[in-house]
Amino acid sequence: MGTDPLPLDEAAVRVLSGVTTATLTTVLLKKGLRNVWMRGSRSLRPGQGRVVGRAFTLRFVPAREDLATPESWSAPISTRAAIEKMPADCLVVVDAMGVTDAGIFGDILCARMKKRGVAALITDGVVRDLAGVLGTDLPVWCSGVAAPPSVAGLTFVDWQQPIGCGGVAIFPNDVVVADDDGAVLIPAAMLDEVITASVEQERLEGWIMQQVESGQALPGLYPPDESNKAAYQAWANKRR
């Protein structure tokens, strides 16, 4: 359904794997984007590492009794069918409307996504079969766990269409980075400029941390005034 998935350049993955989501939100804020952090998407297993990839989107709407049935799991438009379209290394981003009393995926579906090479699952909803999901080693960002299946509160309707996850607009093939601070959207059209600015921001903050550890006061350092900008630039030039 919808937009064909695209691969993400390995160089972009490598660079963004070294950039925190905190840095990304700062960079995107400077570019005028405030609403990029997905609310309710927390690391299911703290310390599971940072993931980077293009978004493969799935969308649920409120449950309707004639559609949200166990029989729907075998329909052509179903979560099962969507999983078979997921490319390796994608980040599956699911609009579950913030519903927390119906698990969108359990251990079997997560195991199949892991087998297909999916990099991670990110949702503003919840999962079920917690022990089994953790056992698949699929990195998951979600709002928690619930025993009931998805059809108890949601109807699955589509994949690879624009969605809203955690209050953030996500389009297929946008880039997402997730770590212990949550999941952040990078619009596909802004990827190159965000990467360039993020690398510079990380370098600057590393220098600022060195100054803090040496005892320098924060006013004029963070953010840097003209004097500290010059000092940083001189330091950076020696390392380029």
**Tens of pLDDT along 117-131?**
999 999 999 999 999
Answer yes or no: are the C-beta atoms of 5 and 159 closer than 8 Å.
no
In terms of domains, do 61 and 145 share one?
Answer: yes
Residue 106 confidence (pLDDT): 98
pLDDT of residue 239: 79
User: Is residue 110 domain-resident?
Assistant: yes
Q: Is residue 5 part of a domain?
A: no
- Integer-rounded Cα Rg, in Å, for the chain is 20
For residue 1, being part of any structural domain is answered with no
What pLDDT sits at residue 1? 64
pLDDT score of 4: 95
Q: Give the model's pLDDT for residue 46.
A: 86
Q: Give domain status of residue 2, yes or no.
A: no
Mean pLDDT of 184-211: 95
Instruction: Check residue 25 and give its pLDDT.
Output: 97
Classify residue 171: in a domain, yes or no.
yes
Number of domains in the chain: 2
Q: How confident is the model at residue 64 (pLDDT cuts 50, 70, 90)?
A: very high
- pLDDT digit string, tens, across residues 100-155: 999 999 999 999 999 999 999 999 999 999 999 999 999 999 999 999 999 999 99
Q: Indicate whether 182 and 161 sit together in one domain.
A: yes
**In this structure, which amino acid lies at residue 96?**
A
Tokens 């380029």: give the residue: 240
Residue 16 CA to chain centroid, in angstroms? 12
Residues 164 and 199 in one domain: no
Same domain, yes or no, for 176 and 207? no
Report yes or no on whether pTM surpasses 0.85.
yes
Q: How confident is the model at residue 5 (pLDDT cuts 50, 70, 90)?
A: very high
Residue 228 and residue 131 in one domain? no
Note whether 118 and 227 are same-domain residues.
no
Q: Are residues 60 and 116 in the same domain?
A: yes
Residues 66 and 160 in one domain: yes
pLDDT more than 90, % of the chain: 96
| Domain finish residue from 166, 189, 212 | 189
Contact 182, 54 (CB under 8 A): no
Residues 107, 109, 38: CA angle, nearest 5 degrees: 90
In this structure, are 14 and 88 located in the same domain? yes
Residue 175 lies in domain = 10-189
